Structure 1
């Protein structure tokens, strides 16, 4: 009798597994398509961070620190990036010491497309509260006219739920041939105040995040209230400052 019941139980689980497995396979197939469609719009961002320290008004050392991150093209020649990947909080990393002052300066910004081609760029706007920065092609750069990268549609407000799986796309450094990379993140928590953010497991900083249908959800950033851990800031907040970024971008041509 027990053997018969066990057989029925195994058979029941077999049916359940057969039902679940194709869903997982379908998601992966959809995710691959999302990756293939959007990876070219995710580009490398490289720069040099000059760090100068002083103690009680006297020089205490300086350092040039190469930076590499990535962002997503959200308008013609305009890239959204997690601000803290370009301007890390160096002061907090060395601790709060009386008399110590640390200043940083970002220079030599470059955008690196999927083919490895480099373009001179400028930081045109940042918003620390949103954790966002906007980097634009320098129209005066020698190769500016050759920048042809598809713009990702951020016009929709996509709502996600706990345990939803999302597609996160990034790009490796030039030492790894600027190859695109993809991960699957899971929505672990949703914070609604003071603004909506999604806490996702399995996502990296400054990566655009999409649904399996290819809809742009947001960008992973770091904000003061959540510390260094990446959170997804939804598209509507990026659009909130997009016009300002475009206006600053237009000033580069003057």
Structure 2
């Protein structure tokens, strides 16, 4: 399968456009999209979904209405939209707004089913659904590797966990391992070297790395600068369930050559 899917903005049509990045990957638990909203454009009018949705703003600025409240969303901000929440978004700025989107669980492919027209209603605690990366929110995982939790079960997400990760040059995440869940990396800046089995490949900015459940993998930043990416896990393991399974690739002693 294609493990690295680059976003080619030059191929996007004029106006508002959302590209499904996972459509041909065989992933069945979720759907990842990348959207561009030019100045003066907007997504669907106020609507709901039957599943949770998440926005992560990559660049530009957008307005997001949640129920009856409107928020200005800037780069580094995540918006969690629980199933059934009336919402819409638009760009009243002067540059293109780009954002990553996640639907979890998988909503199907029929737009008429995915998008359901809605009337405005007050959403209690809507302000808590909008979360911006902050200096105090980072966790040091290992030398050169830190992350910032964004969305998870504890913050109201039923299925998915998202976090912002940053790797210093010559640093990486865990050694070769696999998960019981699907995982994605969306590279924001820098270059991410991904090892899948015994093969290595490189993902640049605005590329989605697709790691279906059971895929043996590791990641590394070859430098020269820092690398930043959004990591997505779906479905999030239940509390107490094992997260990683470490593996080791060894040569076959009975194979010649």
TM-score range, shorter chain: under 0.3
Tell me the TM-score normalized by structure 2: 0.23
Q: Normalized per residue, which structure has more strand?
A: 2
Q: Normalized per residue, which structure has more helix?
A: 1
Larger C-alpha radius of gyration, 1 or 2? 1
